[in-house]
Amino acid sequence: MDVNFLGGPHPQRGIGIVAPFDFALDRELWRWVPDEVSLHLTRTPYVPVEVSLDLARLVSEHQTLREAVRALGAAEPEVIAYACTSGSFVDGTVGERTMCAAMEAAGEVPALTTSGALLEALLELGAERIALVTPYTASVTRALEDFLGEAGITVVSQADLGLTRHIWKVPYREVVEMARHAVPRDADALFISCTNLPTYDAIPQLEAELRMPVVSANQVTMWSALRRLGTSAVGPYQALLDDSARRMLRAADAPLADAPAGAGSEQPLPEPSGFAEPPAFPEQPLFPDFPGDG
């Protein structure tokens, strides 16, 4: 076979991803990535600890990060992203910055974390008062609230699932239901935490219903990393990524400013043309015995 006529493969630009050992949503990260970019993933070493503040500290130790970044170096990524929310907020805003510094020193390329990317995204959206949805226990959720408070973000309401393992098995419908009940009218945006919680298809549905931007851990991580490459994340009908979706939310919200409290909740915003309900995951036992998730 004569292959002389073939071009390519086209040059790929790389993003290195450092994820906790229990991260299970590689496929979801790829959904935000344009064709010309590759993801190179590595994971922190396994530890027999369930989701907690202790686990968050274990998977974010600087020596662990340095070793992971060096392992990614062979693929020559242009940016490194630490894909774990709890691991990057557990020691506050100062801890998040020192994590980035440790990764940049090891890899000699720009580095970011999920929690740092969240702050960037909220600034981009002009959101200072947010609703918060997490799969965590109350203590881990409080630590996230503290991190946001340090950065000047007010959490006006929050809901959590209280899970300590197998967060990646939570179905879309449970995420959506929790968000519906957690979000008040006076929030500027909703944040859905945890890189192990599936959100890609739930974001447009929630934005249409709630009439506000909805951001998630994996979404902000990929958005921030791709911005550093000078390119854009792929996410139709997601306000953080799609200027037209952001304008639609502003236009939809404008008439509600003078409406009586609760008036908007009686008639939900129609879904965008051609948009379907997020696919439901098949029913299955949620949590067989296995530690972890972050």
Within-domain flag for 8: no
Considering its fold, how many domains does the chain have in total? 1
275 occurs within a structural domain: no
| Tens digit of each residue's pLDDT (9 = 90 or more) over 214-269 | 999 999 999 999 999 999 999 989 999 998 889 888 887 765 444 444 444 434 43
Residue 292 lies in a domain: no
Residue 183 lies in a domain: yes
> Which string of DSSP letters, residue by residue, matches 231-293?
-----TT-TTT-HHHHHHHHHHHGGGGGSPTTGGGGSPPPPPTT--PPPPPPP--S--S--B-
Q: Please check whether residue 184 lies inside any domain of the structure.
A: yes
Kindly report the pTM of this predicted structure: 0.85
What pLDDT is recorded for position 2? 65
**What's the pLDDT score for residue 1?**
57
State both tokens at 204.
């447009």
Question: Residue 136 maps to which CATH number?
Answer: 3.40.50.12500
- Report residues of the chain scoring pLDDT below 50: 256-291
First to last CA, the chain: 49
State the pLDDT at residue 10. 78
Dump pLDDT digits (tens) for 47-64: 999 999 999 999 999 999
53 contacts: CB under 8 Å, gap ≥ 6: 86, 90, 139, 140, 143
Range of the domain at 219: 13-266
Task: Classify residue 276: in a domain, yes or no.
Answer: no
Beta 13-19 vs 37-43: how paired, if at all? Answer: parallel
**Domain assignment present for 278:** no
Residue at 66 is within a domain: yes
